[in-house]
Amino acid sequence: MKIRVPATSANLGPGFDSCGIALSQYLTIDIGPETQKWQIKHQLGSNIPSDEKNLLIQTALDLAPNLTPHQITMTSDIPIARGLGSSSSVVVAGIELANRLGNLGMTPQKKVSYATKIEGHPDNVAPAICGDFVVASYNNNEVNFVKHTFPDCDVIAFIPNHELLTSESRAVLPKEMSYRDAVKASSIGNVMIAAVLNGNLPLAGKMMEKDILHESHRQHLVPHLKKIREFCKAYGGYGSFLSGAGPTVLVLTPPENTEKLVTALKAFDHEAEIDVLSVEKEGV
Ligand code: HSE
């Protein structure tokens, strides 16, 4: 039995802690035979536990404490601590592991609610569970969300070769903002979402670059964002945004402009990984 969870990109600019898309990179869990103790085979680094201390098993056992141990093979092409939902993918895989082995019959709503309580915000876990484009709110312990088709486009991921921890990237955010700015932020986000729903990527991309909730406060942690935004404009991309808490930046582009943008981004930073992805329609 296999469980496949997509990478995700949260925020899409102004949809901070609320909007996210699933992407065509995956964490895959292969469930092998029953064993005496949980055994996780992986090549994801020596600091990632290979026993029940692994986040995958911890999440599964929190949900279903009596699960029978199995041998698990875990592979992932989602880079760690780059803003592409690597830790959310493990949490979601753990929930799905418990759901399948424990026959819990969890609905997407239950999975998203459970995962959001662990992560603290739904913008990575919801698209990892549902696929495609998800808009979600998390208030008073209640998660409400809507999944919708994201318009066709290429998604260029500019992945710097250094990590940025979400905790570090959240620590620079202000504690408060003025009522006037909150109204402005909400109107920018609303138009971005409405444009996505209408399939209007030029307008959605424009609004994605107008965020005032988090990107400006994180600018000093991700100095490459400004330059990538210039390339996006010069080579016909729809728009660019910090992927989740960064440091990855995504550029949405019509496929005919992908090559020019990739060439420019490669010349800009030889050490960054540049991947051409698409929005993944399926969740876990
Ligand atoms: N919305 C979150 C943030 C996503 O930007 O901090 C990162 O997990």
Q: How far is CA 14 from CA 61, 86, 185, 207, in A?
A: 35, 21, 7, 8
214 CA closest ligand 1 atom index = 5
* Model pLDDT for residues 204-258, shown as the tens digit of each residue: 999 999 999 999 999 999 999 999 999 999 999 999 999 999 999 999 999 999 9
18 CA closest ligand 1 atom index = 1
Residue whose CA is at the smallest distance from ligand 1 atom 1? 17
| Ligand 1 mean position, distance from CA 10 (Å) | 6
CA gap 238, 208 in Å, rounded = 9
* Model pLDDT for residues 134-169, shown as the tens digit of each residue: 999 999 999 999 999 999 999 999 999 999 999 999
CA gap 99, 107 in Å, rounded = 10
* Model pLDDT for residues 87-144, shown as the tens digit of each residue: 999 999 999 999 999 999 999 999 999 999 999 999 999 999 999 999 999 999 999 9
**Ligand 1, residues at Cβ distance < 6 Å:** 10-11, 16-17, 121, 123-124, 166, 169-170, 214, 244-245
Tell me whether 0.90 is exceeded by the ipTM. Answer: yes
Residue whose CA is at the smallest distance from ligand 1 atom 4? 244
Mean pLDDT (the chain) is 97
| Ligand 1 mean position, distance from CA 235 (Å) | 28
